[in-house]
Structure 1
Amino acid sequence: MSSMTRPETTAAHGTASSVQEKTSILNQPRAVWAIFFAGIIAFMGIGLVDPILLAISKKMDASASQVTLLFTSYNAVMAVAMLITGSVSSRMGIKRTLLTGIFIIAVFSALGGLSNNIWALIGLRGGWGLGNALFVATALSAIVSLSKSGTAKAIILYEAAIGLGISVGPLLGGELGSISWRGPFLGVASLMVIAFVALIVLMPKLNTNHEKTAQNKTSILDPFRAMKHRSLVVFGITACLYNFGFFTLLAYSPFVMGLNEHGLGYVFLGWGLLLAMTSVFMAPKLQQKFGTVKSMCAMLFLFALVLVAMGIWTSTQWVIIVAVIFAGALLGNNNTLITTGVMNAAPIERSTASAAYSFLRFIGGAIAPYFAGKLADWFNPHVPFLVGAAFVMASVLFILLNSRHVKHVDHIGSGH
């Protein structure tokens, strides 16, 4: 099969597949670059908070498990909100949905920067998650739909925005956080205002064909119906399990690293840079040579080993620092591989596939941070990493046991 067996793509791209495969990833409409720019700023929000977790803990007299709820509320709201993103964007249109998401992020991050109570801050991070859900799900389907270079390259572009945002975020968070823990929250709000203006200016109107698709209103039940496709559920549950490891590393490692805001900023800058570079340059090569599922399993297995090392040598600072940075390379590869797999998994609208997958994925991201903090309270600082490793290994076993349901993703045209 040289192209995706998808109703909306077969007719539109059947004759253009060879052209798309040769189109440079940089040759994109300005609407794609506007979303790319806004995406970088949106994803800054994740890493921006990381270097200030300890500062928030001290200033608000909050425990590690309370502070990690800043990730839990964010991911929990995002998981549930993902189910309505398709329904909302099909009624509002892609551009309005993106702008609404950016506006909500700006408002809630600004309010977070002005709050004085840990529980208020946790609640406001939930509102931030709602904005991010509207933006993230719509941005992925918008970039894939509007890109001139096909699905695979469009996803690489999307993952590059994630990687750049996640890598620059901690550096900015460390710098602003060293002045005040409020700085990163207010910084995100300011950057989101810039993204809002950029999207209005650089994305004046979508192609009329894409606006017409907005008339086909998506039902709120569509993501649930999408889960009848076993392939989509397999990728979603795999991501849910591996996110236990991902968010244990992201939310809990700052508490055992023994670094200040600047130091944490630089460590997570290194993590994010490797994540960005591998997602763009290395993942496509792994996919071509070994296939999506085999490459994913290898990356996740290595990530599980990294978490085991962090669990054993939790008290050795350099081991934790090196492990966190190296994990960025593994996670960058895996993120691109699994996102590409999801987009090719089932013959349904990409936005619906993204919503169903993201709902399952972020459930793991919601439980893991709080669970990691609690495990440290109940036992010791080693246990969160070892439990995270066990969940990542479970994700490898799960996808291997269900490999027959997802092996087809490598036979669907990599050009779109």
Structure 2
Amino acid sequence: MSKKNTVTFWLVGYTLLMLMVGANIPSPLYSVYQQQWDFSSAILTLIFAVYALVLIPSLLIFGQLSDRIGRKKVLLVGLLISAAGSAIFAFAGSIAWLFIARGLQGLAAGMMSGTATAALVELRPNHRKTASLVASIATAGGTAVGPILGGILAQYGPIPLVLPYIVHLILFIPGFITILMMNETVTSKSTGRWRPQRPSVPSNIRTPFAMGAITAFAAWSVTALFMSLVPSYVSSLMGIHNLAITGGVVFLMLGASAVAQLTFKNLSFRTSMISGLILLIIGLAGILFAVPSQSITLLIISTIITGLGQGLAFMGSMALVNEIAPENRRGDVVSTLYVVIYIGVGLPTIGIGFGAVWIGLYKAIFIFACFIAALSILMSILIAVKMKQRLESPVAG
């Protein structure tokens, strides 16, 4: 691997990290927007949801398109759209602008998530598991850094609803330069007229793909709970309204995720996914007990356990899918995985948000936790029984 490709590899990982940072900077700021413009929790839920609603179809289109026309073009356009989303957030003057900005962020994430992951694997073809690890840490790490960066800058800096986005735009510059100068990683491109196809996974890898995708769904469903509702809960439980602290809860959870991925990167696919799913169950149980007991200590411990579970489950599923994906379909297959992930991000946010109106927030979270626990137990059993010996290789190499 040439020195240029090595530098490009790490900077593409940085670009994916910054994409996720930008998409999550607004998380601790929504309460400020809500107070400023006096909109309901239902509207807040829809602002969260529009991200996934735009992201999912763009994943389906641009994962396939990047297999055809190359990664570089798709990544460049995605970067520009992400920057536009941050700029609109910075100068938003009404609720409508929040929907537009969030939609642009979803479009950019849909264009870049699967495409950047595929590019990382192609830049380091002999170390696919290392590339998968970089992609999963960049995704989880950016999701962790975004809320605490936005919270700190908004709490302690001037112009709190502008500065976080300006900083993000500045941090994006190295990534844009990198993508502009990188060599295309797709060596054989199709010719002729292109039409989007229904997403599909090759029949010979559907069983392991399903195991990886459902595991990732569970991991990111729990992440969505933390991103959308737990900061507000901390604020009401402890009477803390410091944006840096409420954003720090999400950082703690996904920071633990990143630590887990770095520390246990040599676990096998099966061990990583099963361990992660079990830890998710334990962490969610702790969060449920923390609510009636009003224990911030239990909440913190449960948050760390949940983060460790999220990291192991996501790391194993990402590495598995990148390992089994055919070279000429990698962008499509990885994008299909991200579709499942973002369904996991979108549905709980909508379901819990509206469920809270009908039955109360605690009951809505309790039902969600029971569903994830049942799904995790089922998947742990299936993974243990069905996963073949040939997939028992280290997650990172």
TM-score (structure 1 length as normaliser):
0.82
Matched, 1:395 2:372: no
Matched, 1:354 2:334: yes
Question: Which residue does 2:190 correspond to in 1?
Answer: 215
Following superposition, the deviation at residue 106 of structure 1 comes to: 0.6
* Deviation string, structure 1 residues 128-157 (Cα, Å, up to 9, x no partner): 111111111111011011116511111112
Moved more, 353-362 or 138-147: 353-362
Question: Which residue does 1:376 correspond to in 2?
Answer: 356
Matched, 1:142 2:119: yes
Identity %: 21
Aligned mates of 1:116, 1:400 — CA distance in 2:
47
Matches within 5 A, 1:217-232: 220-221=196-197, 223-226=199-202, 229-232=206-209
Q: Which amino acid in structure 2 is aligned with residue 335 of structure 1?
A: F
Matched, 1:200 2:180: yes
Q: Which amino acid in structure 1 is aligned with residue 189 of structure 2?
A: A
* Deviation string, structure 1 residues 59-99 (Cα, Å, up to 9, x no partner): 22123342233331112221221111233213432111111
Following superposition, the deviation at residue 412 of structure 1 comes to: 6.2
Q: Quick check: 1:64–1:255 contact (8 Å CA) kept in 2?
A: no
Q: Quick check: 2:277–2:377 contact (8 Å CA) kept in 1?
A: no
* Deviation string, structure 1 residues 298-333 (Cα, Å, up to 9, x no partner): 322221222222223224334334433442222122
Following superposition, the deviation at residue 102 of structure 1 comes to: 0.7
Matches within 5 A, 1:239-250: 239-250=216-227
Aligned mates of 1:392, 1:147 — CA distance in 2:
35
Following superposition, the deviation at residue 275 of structure 1 comes to: 1.8
Q: Tell me, what secondary structure is at the counterpart of 1:224?
A: coil
Matches within 5 A, 1:10-29: 29=6
Aligned mates of 1:364, 1:139 — CA distance in 2:
20
TM-score (structure 2 length as normaliser):
0.85
- Call closer, same or farther: CA 1:34–1:329 in 2, change over 3 Å: same
- Call closer, same or farther: CA 1:92–1:109 in 2, change over 3 Å: farther
Matched, 1:285 2:266: yes
Give the unaligned 5+ runs of structure 2: none
Aligned mates of 2:126, 2:15 — CA distance in 1:
20
Following superposition, the deviation at residue 371 of structure 1 comes to: 1.7
Give the unaligned 5+ runs of structure 1: 1-19
Q: Which of 51, 58, 62 is the aligned partner of 2:35?
A: 58
Question: Which residue does 1:77 correspond to in 2?
Answer: 54
Q: Which of 111, 132, 137 is the aligned partner of 2:109?
A: 132
Moved more, 39-48 or 175-184: 175-184
Q: Quick check: 1:231–1:346 contact (8 Å CA) kept in 2?
A: no
Question: Which residue does 1:32 correspond to in 2?
Answer: 9
Q: Tell me, what secondary structure is at the counterpart of 1:68?
A: helix
Aligned length: 383
Aligned mates of 2:332, 2:74 — CA distance in 1:
15
Following superposition, the deviation at residue 379 of structure 1 comes to: 2.3
Question: Which residue does 2:231 correspond to in 1?
Answer: 254
Q: Tell me, what secondary structure is at the counterpart of 1:180?
A: coil
Q: Quick check: 1:73–1:126 contact (8 Å CA) kept in 2?
A: yes
Q: Which of 316, 321, 335 is the aligned partner of 2:314?
A: 335
Aligned mates of 2:131, 2:252 — CA distance in 1:
24
Q: Tell me, what secondary structure is at the counterpart of 1:285?
A: coil
Aligned mates of 1:35, 1:327 — CA distance in 2:
28
- Call closer, same or farther: CA 1:381–1:94 in 2, change over 3 Å: same
Q: Tell me, what secondary structure is at the counterpart of 1:223?
A: coil
Question: Which residue does 2:171 correspond to in 1?
Answer: 191
Q: Quick check: 1:89–1:214 contact (8 Å CA) kept in 2?
A: no
- Call closer, same or farther: CA 1:415–1:159 in 2, change over 3 Å: closer
Aligned mates of 2:174, 2:396 — CA distance in 1:
33
RMSD: 2.9
Q: Tell me, what secondary structure is at the counterpart of 1:313?
A: helix
Question: Which residue does 1:156 correspond to in 2?
Answer: 133
- Call closer, same or farther: CA 1:407–1:219 in 2, change over 3 Å: farther
Q: Which amino acid in structure 2 is aligned with residue 360 of structure 1?
A: V
- Call closer, same or farther: CA 1:30–1:133 in 2, change over 3 Å: same
- Call closer, same or farther: CA 1:94–1:364 in 2, change over 3 Å: same
